[in-house]
Amino acid sequence: MRLALPSLIMLVYILVSLIGTMPGRPMARIVAGILLLATSLKYLIYERIGGSFIAPDLPGPLLLAMELLYSAMVILFFLLLLKDGLALLLWLSRWLGSSWRFPFSPEAFSAGIISVALLLAVFGTWQSVRVPDVRAVEISMPRIPAALDGFSIIQITDIHIGPFLKGEWLRRVVEKTNHQHADLIALTGDLIDGTPDALKDDIAPLGELRARYGVFGVTGNHEYYFQVN
């Protein structure tokens, strides 16, 4: 699968840049490597065991843990790229005669960078499953007719109702949306992760959306994954 290749590239880089050079017992590095390997194979596990790499039929807590660990791995990969870039610059500066070095010991640096990756992953995962806040954006269009001044549009996009987000979550989103009393509501794709038949009860709250001039929607790529017409 194409998505597995970038994951394996990140895995190799983390193993070389961090795990292989971590101080401590070899067994700890082996355990960390095995955990990273399992995390990097997330999409293959979803497809082979869960039946779908988009909407796997697996327990919710397991999926949430896998997503959190995968997010942490991606964040850790980019933090290590930044760390190694800085290390290269410090090496070049020492080659030119400076004495600049990282201010932390290797042990503290490894623990710190792993902690930052995990904390950011936890925060990002929490953000992805909570009911989102309303973000207001005022658009100025000098040529728009005066009668449309103040016309309000609410956009709802990429809600991905499926393994994680269910009907009760969507109902709260709909209630918050209707409370804005928008002139128009636009649904701009990627509304589901699963078949319409399996999710019909969970997406039913969308039928409760109300706007003065109507609710309009388009499909996204995730709808096509599940043959939505």
User: Are 153 and 93 members of one domain?
Assistant: no
Q: How many domains does the chain have?
A: 2
Residues in a beta bridge with 154: 185
Residue 76 has pLDDT above 70, yes or no: yes
- Over range 108-117, report the average pLDDT: 89
Residue 2 has pLDDT above 70, yes or no: no
User: Are 107 and 158 members of one domain?
Assistant: no
CA distance 77 to 13: 7
Tokens of 75: 């964040």
User: Are 117 and 30 members of one domain?
Assistant: yes
pLDDT of residue 181: 95
Query: Which amino acid is it at 55?
Result: A
pLDDT of residue 229: 59
User: Could you tell me if residue 165 is inside a domain?
Assistant: yes
User: Are 161 and 116 members of one domain?
Assistant: no
Residue 80 has pLDDT above 90, yes or no: yes
User: Are 41 and 86 members of one domain?
Assistant: yes
Give the range of the structural domain holding residue 32, as residue numbers without chain letter. 4-129
Between 65-74, 92-101, 153-162, the lowest mean confidence (pLDDT) is in 92-101
User: Are 206 and 123 members of one domain?
Assistant: no
User: Are 40 and 112 members of one domain?
Assistant: yes
Coil, strand, or helix at residue 59? coil
Residues in a beta bridge with 192: 161
For 75, the enclosing helix (H) or strand (E) is helix 60-95
For the four alpha carbons of 157, 162, 168 and 169, in that order, the dihedral sign comes to: negative
- Residue pair 14/72 in contact (Cβ under 8 Å)? The answer is no
User: Are 178 and 89 members of one domain?
Assistant: no
User: Are 115 and 201 members of one domain?
Assistant: no
CA distance 220 to 159: 11
User: Could you tell me if residue 137 is inside a domain?
Assistant: no
CATH of the domain at 203: 3.60.21.40
CA distance 110 to 105: 9
User: Could you tell me if residue 155 is inside a domain?
Assistant: yes
> What CA–CA distances, in Å, run from 110 to 18, 20, 83, 119, 161?
7, 11, 11, 14, 37
User: Are 83 and 47 members of one domain?
Assistant: yes
User: Could you tell me if residue 123 is inside a domain?
Assistant: yes
pLDDT band at 178 (very low <50, low <70, confident <90, very high): very high
User: Could you tell me if residue 179 is inside a domain?
Assistant: yes
pLDDT of residue 119: 97
User: Could you tell me if residue 134 is inside a domain?
Assistant: no
- Mean pLDDT, the chain, rounded, equals 89
Tokens of 188: 């701009």
User: Are 104 and 205 members of one domain?
Assistant: no
Residue 66 has pLDDT above 90, yes or no: yes
pTM for the predicted model, two decimal places:
0.83
Residue 70 has pLDDT above 90, yes or no: yes
User: Are 106 and 163 members of one domain?
Assistant: no
User: Could you tell me if residue 185 is inside a domain?
Assistant: yes
Q: Which positions ≥6 away from 88 have C-beta within 8 Å?
A: none
